Structure 1
């Protein structure tokens, strides 16, 4: 070997001895879920349901960061990169409830496009569902989730579950939940209510 190669090996050995080598996958996994959630990019996601096995599931979507946080019993159990509505098809913001769930669904509005693990948020065609995600706005208004994450979220939520979508900065998962809960009693427009409830509200 050349003298340069020997020098490189020696330098790397010194880094290992000093504990300055790149963290292993196990070391990264040991980091708090909040820290790992803050670093999500592209189509990455985290799902750790064992952190809280009971309590209501709450979903908070941050459009500015293109991220979703999922809580159960007030504890973060999952986070994912998303792709929300592109320019001209921006995703709506505010308080929502899950109106319909279908494991296999196709769009009634956009060329029969597949929407696996669909969870409807309004009657204008906006839903959470699995699809192509790259951490940037891409959709026609829906919140796209990586397929594996969409499947797990579908299994964890219930009809009427709380979803909050915001354009605000979300500096941490804890701040995201605090913001969502501050709007938990905000009025829900008729297009975001179950059809029978919406009809009753519209009746004279």
Structure 2
């Protein structure tokens, strides 16, 4: 009975005791028990924020754990969100240089114009495809060049200074020129002119074949 009375009395004292007063803003904080318990600087907080921290267990020195986390963050390599500019992709094959030479062939005029850098540098009479073998119209790049070539379609006929426009057999080449349609679809050139033109062009040079009849070299250039 005496022990029960004593226990109740102690319990009453505990319940009746007032709560500890809150620390005011003006009160001086209790000095840190250790350096690790002091306020962590902002830059260290930024370091710690990058590391996953598990919840502390009971009895853990929280201040010491925070300090250890700061040390690990300082030792770890800094991870940057953007690693700087990416390495350039593998270089693509260099584009084939564009020729400044433009060639225009007028079917009604049976005439060929050669322009370089926008200026007329040469012209010649030609013979294009006769009836039933019409020379196609349009813009064609030079696909193949060969000084000595023979036709694989028409009895091994010679086609000197051949410059192929289509894989179906249309080409610029030296041949008999009459000033009117006479070929099987190719564009025949005088021999000396064919040699000269061969040295002025390269692969990709554009040849425009048109049914227009330009009244001047300037109008022919606009068709190219």
Given the two structures, how large is their TM-score scaled by the length of structure 2?
0.55
Structure 2 counterpart of 1:118, from 159, 162, 180? 162
For 2:122, the equivalent position in structure 1 comes to: 78
For 2:107, the equivalent position in structure 1 comes to: 63
Alignment length (residue pairs): 126
Q: Is the 8 A contact 2:208 2:223 kept in 1?
A: no
Higher RCO, Cα 8 Å, sep 6+: 1
Please give the root-mean-square deviation of Cα atoms over the aligned residues, in Å. Answer: 0.8
Asked whether 1:154 is paired with 2:198, we answer: yes
Q: Deviations over 1:12-34 (max 9, x none)?
A: xxxxxxxxxxxxxxxxxxxxxxx
Distance (Å, rounded) in 2 between the aligned partners of 1:125 and 1:134: 21
For 1:94, the equivalent position in structure 2 comes to: 138
Asked whether 1:134 is paired with 2:134, we answer: no
Displacement of 1:168 after TM fit?
1.0
Displacement of 1:109 after TM fit?
1.1
Asked whether 1:169 is paired with 2:213, we answer: yes
For 1:143, the equivalent position in structure 2 comes to: 187
Alignment of 1:180-191 (within 5 A): 180=224
Equivalent residue of 2:167, what SS?
coil
Displacement of 1:170 after TM fit?
1.2
Q: Deviations over 1:101-159 (max 9, x none)?
A: 00000011111110000000001110000000010000000000000000000001010
For 1:179, the equivalent position in structure 2 comes to: 223
Q: Deviations over 1:31-70 (max 9, x none)?
A: xxxxxxxxxxxxxxxxxxxxxxxx7111000000000000
Gaps of 5+ in 2: 1-98
Given the two structures, how large is their TM-score scaled by the length of structure 1?
0.61
For 2:152, the equivalent position in structure 1 comes to: 108
Structure of greater Rg? 2
Moved >2 Å (runs of 4+): none
Q: Deviations over 1:169-199 (max 9, x none)?
A: 111111011122xxxxxxxxxxxxxxxxxxx
The structure richer in helix per residue is 1
Distance (Å, rounded) in 1 between the aligned partners of 2:136 and 2:223: 17
For 2:17, the equivalent position in structure 1 comes to: none
Distance (Å, rounded) in 2 between the aligned partners of 1:99 and 1:60: 16
Equivalent residue of 2:199, what SS?
helix
More off after superposition, 64-73 vs 167-176: 167-176
Equivalent residue of 1:157, what SS?
coil
